[in-house]
């Protein structure tokens, strides 16, 4: 990935700056239930204000599919952003209309303007050049601080960069630095811990990382497709039949490329994640039983691998960690990462949640703010929204 111009190096003094943020936050009625994402890009907004720029914030919220949806108006988000910034934030009634263009032109130093939900316009998700041009007409420069949207070639993510000088915001800068670190730092040994529910989601990531990592530590339901591909009986564990061939091919590729693909050697099994009566730890899964977590021997094996690694990424839990009975494997992996002296990177909604649940968030080098975007970045080594930004 090419180095990108970042907002701290961009010429933005006195300019109106369109800032793409990812404020797609959970709402409870008209209240923001979790403001983590809003807090995440406040440093960029403050940085712009300190340098005399006039930020015009734009985000999507939910999936209104190109129409106005009353419950998805930005008002609760704008209110919370204003409270956190400690200054009034004006909300525009739309994104591109002449009234909004007028509000943008009338901005004075210290003003912050917030546009309406950008996905109220069909042109956003279509990446319509006309809509991108209308958005860009509001401003004299563009900053992208929405890593969570960078995998989308949308108008406010990619299209506007064709009209405005563009740079990465401070939050996106950190994400780009760690993405470059994953693929280009050459830190070794490099272990990728992959888990979660579906192999099909993770195949592009495995294929992309195979060139870079020294070992894959595989857990979660996806491990059972790999074990099955190796001819191991996995009882009633979740197997994606359609992925068996691909799984076998990936294991072969690992072998040929000297990448160690570690699979669970023992398991915590139950009749189902909900029916835990008689749950037990086994090395061979009996018929009718389902692997719901990696067992203690596997956890110890993976801990050993993590202790000697200089770079570790985690995506996906090792078991059905939402149930404390099946959380031990994920907990041990997360703790081992927290103790690592190397670079530790976590991404994906469930993994971030697990790291927070086990109190290890502060001890990771980087927790990615992009769920789907993080997965796409691992799979493609870059993202359209990042590629579109000016080089450093
Ligand atoms: P993902 O979104 O692909 O990262 O998957 C996360 C989900 O995978 C979590 O909700 C876990 O409960 C689930 N999961 C992890 N391990 C297993 C397993 N062995 N069997 C079934 N589901 C699992």
Domains delineated in the chain: 16-173 (3.40.50.1260), 185-379 (3.40.50.1260)
Q: Is 220 in the pocket of ligand 1 (CB under 6 A)?
A: yes
Residue (of 354, 380, 314) closest to 150 by Cα position: 380
The residue annotated as part of the active site, out of 90, 198, 325, 381, is: 198
**Cβ–Cβ < 8 Å for 299, 317:** no
How many Å apart are CA 181 and CA 311, to the nearest integer? 9
User: Which mutation among 226, 263, 315, 317 tests ligand 1's pocket best, with the greatest number of atoms within 8 A of CB?
Assistant: 317
* Residue 264 Cβ < 6 Å to ligand 1: no
Backbone dihedral angles phi then psi of residue 358, each to the nearest 5 degrees: -90, 15
Quick check: is 20 catalytic?
no
List of residues 6+ apart from 182 with CB closer than 8 A: 212, 311, 313, 345, 378
Closest residue by Cα to atom 18, ligand 1, is 221
Catalytic-residue membership of 198: yes
Q: Can you say whether residue 278 is alpha, beta or left, with left for phi > 0 and alpha for psi between -120 and 50 degrees? A: left
253 carries an active-site annotation: no
Burial class (CB in 10 A: 0-12, 13-18, 19+), 310: middle
- Using 50 as the pLDDT threshold, list the residues of the chain that sit under it: none
Atom of ligand 1 nearest to the CA of 321: 12
Atom of ligand 1 nearest to the CA of 293: 19
Distance 249 CA to ligand 1 centre (A): 23
How many Cβ atoms are within 10 Å of 137's Cβ, its own excluded?
Answer: 17
Q: Which of 206, 264, 321, 350 to mutate to test the pocket of ligand 1 (most atoms within 8 A of CB)?
A: 350
- All residues at 6 or more sequence positions from 156 whose CB lies less than 8 Å from its CB, including other chains: 18, 20, 58, 60, 118, 124, 132, 135, 149
CA 162 remoteness from chain centre: 25
Verify whether ligand 1 is closer than 6 Å to residue 267 (CB atom): no
Contacts for 356 with CB less than 8 Å, ≥ 6 apart:
none
Q: Is the CB of 291 under 6 A from ligand 1?
A: yes
> What is the structure's pLDDT at 252?
97
350 lines ligand 1 (CB under 6 A): yes
**pLDDT value of residue 142:** 98
- Whether 372 is catalytic is yes
Q: Ligand 1 centre from 220 Cα, in Å?
A: 6
Contact between residue 219 and residue 329 where contact means Cβ atoms under 8 Å apart? yes
Indicate whether residue 371 lines ligand 1 (CB < 6 A).
no
Which atom of ligand 1 lies at the shortest distance from residue 322's CA? 12
Rounded to two decimals, the pTM is 0.93
């Amino acid at each position: 990935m090419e180095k990108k111009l970042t907002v701290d190096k961009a010429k933005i003094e006195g300019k109106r700056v369109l800032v793409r943020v990812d404020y797609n936050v959970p709402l409870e009625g008209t209240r923001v239930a979790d403001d983590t994402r809003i807090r995440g890009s406040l440093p960029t907004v403050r940085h712009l204000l300190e340098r005399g720029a006039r930020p015009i914030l734009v985000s999507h919220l939910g999936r209104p599919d190109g129409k106005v949806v009353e419950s998805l108006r930005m008002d609760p988000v704008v209110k919370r952003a204003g409270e956190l910034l400690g200054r009034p934030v004006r909300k525009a009634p739309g994104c591109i209309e002449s009234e909004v263009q007028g509000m943008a032109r009338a901005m004075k130093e210290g003003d912050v303007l917030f546009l309406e939900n950008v996905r109220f316009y069909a042109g956003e998700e279509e990446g319509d050049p006309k809509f991108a041009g209308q958005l860009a007409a509001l401003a004299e420069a563009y900053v992208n601080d929405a890593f969570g949207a960078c995998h989308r070639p949308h108008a406010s993510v990619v299209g506007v960069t064709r009209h405005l000088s563009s740079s990465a915001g401070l939050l996106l800068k950190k994400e780009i630095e760690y993405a470059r670190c994953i693929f280009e730092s050459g830190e070794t040994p490099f272990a990728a811990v992959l888990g979660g529910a579906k192999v099909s989601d993770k195949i592009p990531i495995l294929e992309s990382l195979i060139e870079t990592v020294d070992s894959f530590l595989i857990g979660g339901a996806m491990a059972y497709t790999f074990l099955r591909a190796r001819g191991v009986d996995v009882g009633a564990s979740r197997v994606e039949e359609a992925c068996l061939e691909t799984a076998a091919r990936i294991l072969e590729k690992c072998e040929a490329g000297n990448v160690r693909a570690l699979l669970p050697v023992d398991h915590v099994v139950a009749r189902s994640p909900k029916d835990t009566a008689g749950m037990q730890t086994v090395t061979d899964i009996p018929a009718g039983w389902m692997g719901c977590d990696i067992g203690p021997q596997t956890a110890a094996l993976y801990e050993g691998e993590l202790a000697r690694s200089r770079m570790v990424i985690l995506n996906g839990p090792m078991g059905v960690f939402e149930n404390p009975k099946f959380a031990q494997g994920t907990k041990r992996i997360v703790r081992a990462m927290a103790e690592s002296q190397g670079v530790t990177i976590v991404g994906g909604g469930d993994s971030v949640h697990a790291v927070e649940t086990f109190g290890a968030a502060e001890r990771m080098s980087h927790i990615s703010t992009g769920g789907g975007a993080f997965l796409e970045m691992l799979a493609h080594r870059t993202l359209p929204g990042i590629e579109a930004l000016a080089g450093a």
